[in-house]
């Protein structure tokens, strides 16, 4: 049973380290900064990698290790590394694979801080980045240079929900010997396992669906034993964005309900998207579960369902979009996603504010685009809240005109 291929079983059992001392069902929290060696020789052997065992919290912790094993099992990779935030995972994973003079091909639309890191910080260290539309194979091929080392993208993309064909990207990456890296935060391994399509490294903001309860900031990278060892021994160890044992414990607990939560997120989001798609005050809805969506044909192939997040454009002005969001009574105006609560935010002024106006336009992020992370509330209550806020916005538009 521990080798079940079913994700519902794996989220609960796979990767668990049995508590040999007391048989605790729940994973013990090893709240310790350091580990005592039996003698000097043992300490030296551990530092040399000649003996298994823990040394110091920044180099590894048993509670964090269990989470890493669980995530590797879920993402179908050999190993995983845990970080203190999603951005800790993004930066450490990229830097472990790059040196001065290298070049990255990255998606033009990305989470705002990832874009800021690539567009603003990396060039200061001599790492060049080309931003391309990852749905355009020719554009990707044209962007690859002799010094390209990495290809980086998200699918679905934050915030416009465009779907990238993972298998197409990995085949280009293999042709050119590039390290392929995908951010799988929006889907989680309950819906999408990119390793099946040949991706080298899979990143998560564990802050989101993996934990699922809005009380942790954390990140994870999954990949081959060799890749993870390289990250752990370089950018994780020496830059130090490690996960705390308490946070690892919360995520392990959150993971156990990942499948059931994601199932409800998806069914609620599907109904919300269908409701919004026919609403006269909504210009368009980007939700992968709608047959009108660009990524819909990949459902059932690359991903199991449309997920819990959508972005939609208000049929109106920026002020109308603001009026709509401010009128919501149950949905919270907050960044982040994948929590029990429905969260709504305005990418242009919030998550994607690191983009300049022109960059936002080419990434498909308009002033009237709103992103909704559909929560686990009763679907009637979510739709009721959206309906009353859209009605208030409609009244306002009629008064102004």
Angle of CA points 299, 303, 308, to nearest 5°: 95
Q: Considering the rule CB under 6 A, would residue 61 count as an interface residue with ligand 3LM? A: no
For residue 103, the tally of other CB atoms under 10 A from its CB is: 18
Tell me the window of 86-94, 129-137, 144-152, 362-370 that interacts with ligand 3LM (CB under 6 A).
86-94
Work out which of 66, 75, 165, 183 binds ligand 3LM, going by CB under 6 A.
183
Residue 67, both tokens: 């989470």
Question: What is d(CA 325, CA 4) in angstroms, rounded to the nearest whole number?
Answer: 43
**Residue number with CB closer to ligand 3LM (180 or 394):** 180
Question: What is d(CA 386, CA 401) in angstroms, rounded to the nearest whole number?
Answer: 22
Residue 263, both tokens: 């199932």
Work out which of 11, 61, 63, 85 binds ligand 3LM, going by CB under 6 A.
85
| Known active-site residue 398 | no
Q: Considering the rule CB under 6 A, would residue 286 count as an interface residue with ligand 3LM? A: no
Question: What is d(CA 140, CA 172) in angstroms, rounded to the nearest whole number?
Answer: 8
Work out which of 87, 163, 164, 331 binds ligand 3LM, going by CB under 6 A.
87
Work out which of 15, 57, 60, 86 binds ligand 3LM, going by CB under 6 A.
86
- Tell me the number of residues near ligand 3LM by CB under 6 A: 19
Contact 78, 238 (CB under 8 A): no
Site string for ligand 3LM, 106-135 (x = CB under 6 A): -----x-xx---------------------
Question: What is d(CA 386, CA 377) in angstroms, rounded to the nearest whole number?
Answer: 13
Q: Which phi and psi angles does 71 have, rounded to 5°?
A: -70, -35
- Nearest Cα to 295, choosing from 149, 134, 163? 163
Quote the least distance from Cβ 123 to ligand 3LM, whole Å.
20
Q: Which phi and psi angles does 124 have, rounded to 5°?
A: -70, -15
Q: 103 has which bridge partners?
A: 128, 148
Q: Considering the rule CB under 6 A, would residue 335 count as an interface residue with ligand 3LM? A: yes
Pairing relation of β-strands 343-345 and 219-223? unpaired
Question: Which 196-235 positions form the footprint of ligand 3LM (CB under 6 A)?
Answer: 205, 207, 217, 219
Question: Among the options 58, 237, 253, 264, which is catalytic?
Answer: 58
Quote the least distance from Cβ 160 to ligand 3LM, whole Å.
12
| Known active-site residue 208 | yes
Catalytic residues: 58, 111, 183, 208
Q: Which residues bind ligand 3LM (CB under 6 A)?
A: 85-87, 90, 111, 113-114, 154, 158, 183, 185, 205, 207, 217, 219, 335-337, 351
């Amino acid at each position: 049973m521990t080798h079940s291929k079913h994700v519902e079983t794996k989220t609960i059992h796979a990767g668990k380290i049995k508590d040999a001392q007391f048989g605790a069902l729940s994973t013990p929290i090893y709240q310790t900064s350091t580990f005592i060696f039996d003698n000097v020789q043992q300490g030296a052997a551990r530092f040399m990698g000649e003996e298994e065992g823990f040394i110091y919290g920044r180099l590894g912790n048993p509670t964090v290790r269990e989470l890493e094993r669980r995530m590797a099992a879920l993402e179908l990779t050999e190993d995983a590394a845990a970080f203190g935030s999603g951005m800790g995972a993004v930066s450490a994973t990229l830097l472990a694979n790059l040196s001065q003079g290298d070049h990255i091909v990255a998606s033009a639309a990305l989470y705002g801080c990832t874009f800021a890191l690539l567009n603003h910080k990396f060039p200061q260290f001599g790492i060049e980045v080309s931003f391309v539309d990852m749905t355009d194979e020719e554009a990707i091929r044209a962007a690859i240079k002799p010094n390209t080392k990495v290809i980086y993208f998200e699918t679905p993309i934050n915030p416009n929900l465009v779907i990238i064909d993972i298998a197409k990207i990995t085949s280009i990456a293999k042709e050119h010997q590039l390290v392929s890296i995908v951010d799988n935060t929006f889907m989680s391994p309950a819906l999408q396992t990119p390793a099946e399509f040949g991706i080298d490294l899979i990143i998560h903001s564990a802050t989101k669906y993996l934990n699922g309860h809005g009380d942790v900031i954390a990140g994870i990278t999954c990949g081959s034993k060799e890749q993870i060892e390289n990250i752990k021994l370089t950018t994780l160890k020496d830059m130090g964005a490690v996960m705390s044992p308490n946070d690892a414990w919360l995520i392990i607990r959150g993971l156990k309900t990942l499948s059931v939560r994601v199932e409800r997120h998806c069914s609620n989001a599907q109904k919300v998207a269908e409701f919004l798609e026919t609403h006269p005050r909504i210009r368009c809805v980007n939700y992968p579960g709608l047959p009108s969506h660009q990524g819909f044909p990949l459902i059932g192939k690359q991903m199991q369902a449309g997920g819990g997040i959508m972005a939609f454009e208000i049929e109106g002005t920026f002020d109308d979009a603001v009026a709509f969001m401010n009128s919501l009574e149950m949905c919270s105006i907050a960044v982040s996603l994948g929590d029990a609560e429905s969260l709504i935010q305005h990418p242009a002024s919030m998550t994607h504010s690191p983009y300049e106006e022109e960059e936002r336009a080419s990434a498909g992020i308009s002033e009237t685009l709103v992103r909704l992370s559909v929560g686990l509330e009763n679907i009637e209550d979510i739709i009721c809240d959206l309906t009353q806020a859209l009605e208030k916005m409609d009244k306002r538009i009629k008064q102004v005109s």
